[in-house]
A and B are shown apart, each in its own frame.
Chain A
Amino acid sequence: MLEQLETIYKEAQGTLVAILDSEALHQWEIQYLGKKGEVTLLLRSTGQLPAEERAGFGKRANEIKNLLTEAHANQEQLIHDQELARDLEEGQIDVTLPGRAQSVGGLHPSTQTLRQLYDIWAEMGFQVYRSRDVEDDETNFTLLNIPPHHPARDMWDTFHTTTPGMILRTHTSPGQIHAMRDLGENGTQPIRVILPGMCYRYEQVTARSEMQFHQLEGLAIGRNIHMSDLKGTVTAFARRMFGAEAAVRFRASYFPFTEPSMEIDVECFLCGGEGCRVCKYAGWLEIAGAGMVNPIVLRNGGYDPAEWSGFAFGMGPERMTMLKHGITDIRYFWGNDLRFLEQF
């Protein structure tokens, strides 16, 4: 039996070194070291030997089993190493093939811009105050110092409803009246709000003009708010929105609800002011209208204009989005073509 054992040992050793894959190795293990493996069986049959041979045989059989187990482990490691090396070397895929497309959601570009505006203004202490889309003529115009039939009304082409005096708001400015009356506590409290919302104008829809669009109005009321504050605040905003180097220009203009009034231009961030198609070769992009709140509007909001002052501004999120991303047709915004929306 000892000879038989030695023969098996030699044979096992011999075959093991030739094994180069995991499956054959597993078979080898079953053949020699498994529960019914040749070495195991021989070892188990130790009891059949004469008593004086048992110790020697048992010792040698155990020794061989251990040696083979160790050799198996070594060979296993060798095979693993080889297989790993082979996989690393040969298991290449074409990494230029496209990835599995995932279902990616996204916010509408207007929402993205509005959020950016909310964030910037929040840091300057302006909170979001929303008001209604359908307004009365009084709040949309008259209380903002635009009396009935006043020529200033030509600045806003209005959608009237079949109910006299009920209109779709032409701008977010009626929110100024709501905010002052709602938050001002009868003209005793300072206010800093932004008023986003959908506005409507009776205007033919073209690539450049829409009948429906967002506006974002800002209003700051206090006991000591100056035009210089308006300039400083809007300049700070423009640098956050359009880049730290953004140059800002203030032009005199007219809005009935502010006095003095101004338009605000930012140096074209696409051409650096050199002149390009987007800025129509003027180097400036109009980004907002603004001014000091007209004393009449302050009064209509419940404030004494001799004691209180404030500024207001209005900007167009769609226009800003168009400028930033080179969108040439404003009709894309409410068209909701997914091929457009998926670009944002």
Chain B
Amino acid sequence: MQVPVSWLREFVEIDIPVELLAERLTLAGLEVASISYIGVPQGFVEGVRWPISNHLVWDREKILLGAIREVKPHPDADRLVIAVVDYGGAAPEQTVTGAPNLFEYKGKGPLDPPLWSPFAMEGAEVWDGHSEEPKRMVLKEKKLRGVPNRCMVCSEKELGISEEHEGIMLMENPRGIAPGTPLQDVLGDVILEIELTPNMARNYSILGVAREVAALLGKPVKPPSFDYLAEGGPIIGQAAIEIREPELNPRFTLALLRDTEVRPSPQWMQWRLTLCGQRPINNIVDVTNYITFEIGQPLHAFDYDKLKARVSGKMPKIITRLPDPGEKLDTLDEVTRELQEHNILVCDEAGVLSMGGIIGGAETEISDTTTNVLLEAANWNFINIRRTMQSQKVNTDAGVRFSRGVHPSQALLGVQRGIELMRQTGGGQIAQGIIDEYPLPAPTVTIDLNMSEVERISGMVFTTQQVADILTNLQFTVVVAGDVLHVTAPDFRMDINSDSQVGQADLIEEITRIYGYDLIPDTIIADAMPSQWTNVALEREERARDILVALGLRENISYRLTTPEREAQLNPHHTGAVSHEGYIELANPLAADKSALRHTLLISLLENARGNIRYTPRQQVFEVGNVYRGRENGALPDEPRRLGLLITGPRRVDTWTHDEPGDNVDFYDLKGIVEGLLGGLKISGVTYSRSSHPSLHPGRSALLNVGGKEIGSFGELHPLVATGFELTAAPVFVAEFDLDALLDFVDELYTAQPLPVTPPVYQDIALVVNNETSAAEVVAVIMKAGGNMLKMARLFDLYTGDPIPAGQKSLAYNLVYQADDRTLTDKEVAKVHRKIMQAVERELDAKVRA
């Protein structure tokens, strides 16, 4: 909301610098997003920081109010004129200008009254009106087609008011300000851009902000006059109101202005509307906007004769109601709207006129020929207005205000002030009386505020007087009864809850924010400390992250939104329509590729990898995050935590030393990471078997089991999937594990092994087995045959090819023999070693190599 400080000053005295005022408003919850200056210098206040403004400051000596006394023709140029300007000096100054809006006065002799215009003298700094880019210039004497010229009558652009440069700025001067008055004192202003939170609906007007300023500065509010001069015949019998839905339309008022004239608004009104960002249209429409800005009550003006014509000259009767089935309305924004069952309407006996509180219909709007105006000021249920604005996708100033909540008391004030301003600006007679239907009066809210409650919530001891003063300055009515204050909310506020506990909290907010949050002391919590606990799941998850980072992996965090179609790329054999079963899908996706919550981390990791592959061929990453599985009957989904891994590209980071061949990672790199993670987490009971995960290479993937539970699969990405993700430069290896299940197996109380005091004996064994025999089977047989004495069997070589027969492989192990209590003899070791050789020959059909 744009708040011109000059307008604010009409309702409250401001005796502090604007910059400090803006700071105080911000701290009190009316956030001043920016301050803009028109002609006046920026102020600087100790301890208050605002961005430095780059606006043009109007020199008080050189930019003045000028009175153009005569417009003379230029002797040598048809497209130029000479303005004779009285600027308060001893003699008028002549200035050459091409302003087209002076041409009609050319050669008319002395002008009385004069034309009032901003006047800049030699040496004044203004914006260059002819420059596309903002550019400052200083006025210097020069001849224009032979006529000396050192001053200028200014356009809005040259003064930095707007981009307008079609002609010079011509002003009305109703207050009779003397020529030569510094322009700063005439037009200088400061505009506060205020961002209001939804609870501040009452302040969505100049008067509303003025009330806050008054409370902050301890000054009285000087509201505008709501008197009106009614000299016309009575309104009774000219119009009627029927409210059918008081819950949605608690109040409706009408006033009538006859024999008025639609014309441009006076300049002061146009000027203010412009400062507030509203384009002036005509006096009737401008007054409705003006009142909306001034007191926050939107108005709607009907052409009374058009209303009468709709009912064949009968008395118009305004009916507010919900739509009949199939009803439509052409609104002012040139949209034909199918009305929805909750859209409250303003109608007459002939049909729909407007969408109540939001937007008018085209048929009865004010036109240049309107002479009789029926003015509406109504009140609407804010929740229903908001719902209608959303469902009809319509956004208007009136709708925004009503949707935040306007108190019904404001309707009557609005219609009174509005009809009077219309009369003042357009003439005519106001009909006596106002039709006021108010079937659902707003309750008066009175809260008993306990001083002990103020202290309990704020943590600070206020005096009863302090509290009463603050609330009174905010126009609450306060009756003090010992430690209890009976507080009645003023009739423009709807935000004080009638529930005792909530209402007291509302009042405490008012007290503390006006007092100043910064003045409330800072304390440490003295209340009892709740029992402390550890979030085991989180702690273990963080441990898993740390281990993976230690293993050299980078953490990814991805969008959790995807599409079933994107995830279908993970299945190399998918064809035809993609099933959406089990997906949580968005009703209002922002982007077509983010319409459903993911089922797997693989989609995230692979898309990340695809994005990175161009610049980063070596990738080793992980992600910890949720996936989402829809459940029956619309129940909230399961959100299991998953761990995903992805590695691809060179095993080592390439360096100038080139001392490692640039081999790419393979299955066993990923498995090493998996083993490192499980080892670090102290998870035992791990087995691996073949995986049938569709996204993985069937021969180079494994299923991880822990404690007999399937945790997930890992391995080489299926070549077709890799192709689909354009990851073909090097094989990609991925894993996805059920993190919740995995972390359940963390052994927090694992036992540390004592260091052995006896020496180990090392022996190697190499054996040839069929390719189908797995390494796990071989180790199992060796370990079983080795018994207690065999501490470890570590694979150190795998070999196929000559002289090993086709279909077979050679596995070589380091065996470590050790007894806890004695040094083993060669004889003992040889005996066990022989036993192992026999076992592998017998059980695995292996041949032990010499």
User: Chain A: residues with CB nearer than 8 A to chain B?
Assistant: 97-98, 100-108, 110-111, 115, 125, 127-130, 132-136, 147-155, 159-166, 168, 183, 189-192, 198, 200, 202-205, 211-212, 220, 222-229, 231-233, 235-236, 249-254, 259-262, 273, 275, 280-284, 292, 294-296, 305-306, 309, 333-339, 341-342
Chain B residues lying within 8 Å of A341, measured Cβ to Cβ, are 554-556
Binds A, one of B192-200, B232-240, B749-757: B192-200
Chain A residues lying within 8 Å of B585, measured Cβ to Cβ, are 161-162
Nearest first, the 3 A-B pairs at minimum CB distance are A226-B459, A228-B459, A252-B29
Q: How many A-B residue pairs lie within 8 Å, measured between CB atoms?
A: 286
In the complex, the chain B residue whose C-beta lies closest to that of A251 is: B27
Nearest-neighbour CB distance to chain B for A338, whole angstroms, equals: 5
Query: B27, B542, B554: which contacts A115 (Cβ < 8 A)?
Result: B542
B530 touches A337 (CB 8 A): no
Chain B residues lying within 8 Å of A283, measured Cβ to Cβ, are 49
B521 touches A231 (CB 8 A): yes
Q: A125-B532, A253-B197, A282-B50 are in contact. List 6 more A-B contacts (CB 8 A).
A: A154-B386, A198-B560, A224-B527, A231-B523, A232-B522, A253-B29
Residues in B500-516 with C-beta less than 8 Å from chain A: 501-502, 505-506, 508-509, 512-513
A232 touches B523 (CB 8 A): yes
A252 touches B522 (CB 8 A): no
Bound CA–CA A294/B508 (angstroms): 12
In the complex, the chain B residue whose C-beta lies closest to that of A274 is: B49
Query: A134, A162, A183, A260: which contacts B509 (Cβ < 8 A)?
Result: A260
Chain B residues lying within 8 Å of A296, measured Cβ to Cβ, are 499, 502
In the complex, the chain B residue whose C-beta lies closest to that of A231 is: B522
Chain B residues lying within 8 Å of A273, measured Cβ to Cβ, are 49
B587 touches A102 (CB 8 A): no
Bound CA–CA A111/B556 (angstroms): 10
Chain A residues lying within 8 Å of B121, measured Cβ to Cβ, are none
Bound CA–CA A200/B626 (angstroms): 14
In the complex, the chain B residue whose C-beta lies closest to that of A220 is: B525
Q: Of B27, B50, B525, B535, which is in contact with the most chain A CB atoms at under 10 Å from its CB?
A: B525
Chain A residues lying within 8 Å of B524, measured Cβ to Cβ, are 229, 232-233, 236
A159 touches B586 (CB 8 A): yes
A133 touches B626 (CB 8 A): yes
The answer to whether residues A160 and B587 also contact, given A135-B636, A281-B51 and a CB cut-off of 8 A, is: yes
The answer to whether residues A294 and B527 also contact, given A134-B597, A226-B458 and a CB cut-off of 8 A, is: no
A235 touches B522 (CB 8 A): yes
The answer to whether residues A204 and B557 also contact, given A163-B634, A228-B521, A283-B49 and a CB cut-off of 8 A, is: no
A233 touches B639 (CB 8 A): no
A134 touches B637 (CB 8 A): yes
Bound CA–CA A85/B549 (angstroms): 43
In the complex, the chain B residue whose C-beta lies closest to that of A255 is: B197
B560 touches A305 (CB 8 A): no
A101 touches B654 (CB 8 A): yes
In the complex, the chain B residue whose C-beta lies closest to that of A105 is: B549
Bound CA–CA A204/B591 (angstroms): 9
Nearest-neighbour CB distance to chain B for A259, whole angstroms, equals: 4
Nearest-neighbour CB distance to chain B for A292, whole angstroms, equals: 6
Nearest-neighbour CB distance to chain B for A343, whole angstroms, equals: 11
B51 touches A275 (CB 8 A): yes
Chain A residues lying within 8 Å of B831, measured Cβ to Cβ, are none
The answer to whether residues A108 and B528 also contact, given A260-B512, A336-B608 and a CB cut-off of 8 A, is: no
Instruction: Answer whether residue B456 sits at the interface, using C-beta atoms and an 8 A cutoff.
Output: yes
Instruction: Answer whether residue B382 sits at the interface, using C-beta atoms and an 8 A cutoff.
Output: yes
The answer to whether residues A110 and B527 also contact, given A151-B405, A260-B513, A335-B611 and a CB cut-off of 8 A, is: no
Residues in B542-587 with C-beta less than 8 Å from chain A: 542, 545, 548-561, 584-587
Chain B residues lying within 8 Å of A295, measured Cβ to Cβ, are 499, 501-502, 505
Bound CA–CA A101/B384 (angstroms): 64
B502 touches A294 (CB 8 A): yes
Bound CA–CA A327/B538 (angstroms): 27
Residues in B586-627 with C-beta less than 8 Å from chain A: 586-590, 594, 597, 608, 611-612, 615-616, 619-621, 626
A100 touches B657 (CB 8 A): yes
Bound CA–CA A226/B453 (angstroms): 10
Bound CA–CA A262/B620 (angstroms): 43
Chain A residues lying within 8 Å of B527, measured Cβ to Cβ, are 190, 220, 222-225, 229
Chain B residues lying within 8 Å of A152, measured Cβ to Cβ, are 198-199
A103 touches B620 (CB 8 A): yes
Instruction: Answer whether residue B460 sits at the interface, using C-beta atoms and an 8 A cutoff.
Output: yes
Residues in B154-204 with C-beta less than 8 Å from chain A: 197-201
Instruction: Answer whether residue B383 sits at the interface, using C-beta atoms and an 8 A cutoff.
Output: yes
Residues in B643-665 with C-beta less than 8 Å from chain A: 652-657, 659
A134 touches B584 (CB 8 A): yes
Bound CA–CA A252/B28 (angstroms): 5
A211 touches B590 (CB 8 A): yes
Instruction: Answer whether residue B387 sits at the interface, using C-beta atoms and an 8 A cutoff.
Output: yes
Bound CA–CA A44/B154 (angstroms): 125
B29 touches A254 (CB 8 A): yes
Bound CA–CA A284/B33 (angstroms): 13
In the complex, the chain B residue whose C-beta lies closest to that of A203 is: B590
In the complex, the chain B residue whose C-beta lies closest to that of A153 is: B386
Nearest-neighbour CB distance to chain A for B496, whole angstroms, equals: 11
A309 touches B611 (CB 8 A): no
Show 22 A/B contacts (Cβ-Cβ < 8 Å), sorted by A. A98-B655, A108-B557, A111-B557, A127-B532, A130-B537, A132-B639, A134-B637, A160-B586, A160-B588, A192-B530, A223-B528, A227-B457, A227-B512, A232-B523, A249-B27, A254-B199, A254-B200, A260-B508, A262-B517, A275-B49, A336-B558, A337-B612
A129 touches B383 (CB 8 A): no
Bound CA–CA A229/B505 (angstroms): 16
Instruction: Answer whether residue B52 sits at the interface, using C-beta atoms and an 8 A cutoff.
Output: yes
Bound CA–CA A132/B551 (angstroms): 30
Bound CA–CA A197/B655 (angstroms): 40
Chain A residues lying within 8 Å of B634, measured Cβ to Cβ, are 163-166
B557 touches A251 (CB 8 A): no
